[in-house]
């Protein structure tokens, strides 16, 4: 496995040099910033990622104001206690994508966020989870959240601004080239190997998961 400095050089050579590459990187939000993010914004972000999965992202983006209105600004309490009348109305609401399973996921994820309030707060739990066990956070989201397995949770954490990696096609290709995995990781063993690699690169570089993930993607 290459030292992170070598991978950074590969990426820099493909993106007009180290300064140009650095300009394309962004740092994650602090735990304090994530803790200050209101619960309705967490639910909004999670919901957008759930609806984007397997769908045209541009369509979801263009309809997003309608989603915000239809789901009452993603008020966590109102969404968690959505009754059958509200659910049925949403199934007929042309402001949103009328997918019953994903609409139900909004209700379930709102209930999940209410649970996290009792555990210290959504931002504190999700934002404060150690980056050295990011795969543990993803596993927890997949188990306790609704439709938050795989890439949906990864994108939700990235869009919220928490330190994260996304196992995109390019990141996965670099991980394969580095001998970390031999295919797109999905098993616990493979995900543990990915975490170990990212932890090594964090130690070598002092950079965040977010920055390292972007560098890996741009190294090809």
Q: Which domain does 198 fall in, by range?
A: 4-28+165-218
Region 21-46 average pLDDT: 97
Give residue 75's pLDDT.
Answer: 98
Same domain, 54 and 112: yes
| Average pLDDT over the chain, rounded to an integer | 97
pTM above 0.85, yes or no: yes
Per the CB < 8 A criterion, the answer to whether 127 and 31 are in contact is: yes
> What is the CATH number for 35?
1.10.340.30
Q: 37 and 24 share a domain? A: no
Mean pLDDT of 1-11: 98
Q: What is the pLDDT of residue 150?
A: 82
Given pLDDT bands bounded at 50, 70 and 90, which one contains residue 204? very high
d(CA 7, CA 178): 10
Q: Domains in the chain: how many in total?
A: 2
Geometric angle at alpha carbon 132, from 174 and 193, rounded to 5°: 45
Shared domain for 119 and 195, answered yes or no, is no
Q: Are residues 43 and 15 in the same domain?
A: no
The predicted structure's pLDDT at residue 37: 97
Q: Is the pLDDT of residue 209 over 90?
A: yes
Q: Does residue 122 lie in a domain region?
A: yes
- Whether 21 and 42 map to the same domain: the answer is no
One domain, residues 53 and 12? no
């Amino acid at each position: 496995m290459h030292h992170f400095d070598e991978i950074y050089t590969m990426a820099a050579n493909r993106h007009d040099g180290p300064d140009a590459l650095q300009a394309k990187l962004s740092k994650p939000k602090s735990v304090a910033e994530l803790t200050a993010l209101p619960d309705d914004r967490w639910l909004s972000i999670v919901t957008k990622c759930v609806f984007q999965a397997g769908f045209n992202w541009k369509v979801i983006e263009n309809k997003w104001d309608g989603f915000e209105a239809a789901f009452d600004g993603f008020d966590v309490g109102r969404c968690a206690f959505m009754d059958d009348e509200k659910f049925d109305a949403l199934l007929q609401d042309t402001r949103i994508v009328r997918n019953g399973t994903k609409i139900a996921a909004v209700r379930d994820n709102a209930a999940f966020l209410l649970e996290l309030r009792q555990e210290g707060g959504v931002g504190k739990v999700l934002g404060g989870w150690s980056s050295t066990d990011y795969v543990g956070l993803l596993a927890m989201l997949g188990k306790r959240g609704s439709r938050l397995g795989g890439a949906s949770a990864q994108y939700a954490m990235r869009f919220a601004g928490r330190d994260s990696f996304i196992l995109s096609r390019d990141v996965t290709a670099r991980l394969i080239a580095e001998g970390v995995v031999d295919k797109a990781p999905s098993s616990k063993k493979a995900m543990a190997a990915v975490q170990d690699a990212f932890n090594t690169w964090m130690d070598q570089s002092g950079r965040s998961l977010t920055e390292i993930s972007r560098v890996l993607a741009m190294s090809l």
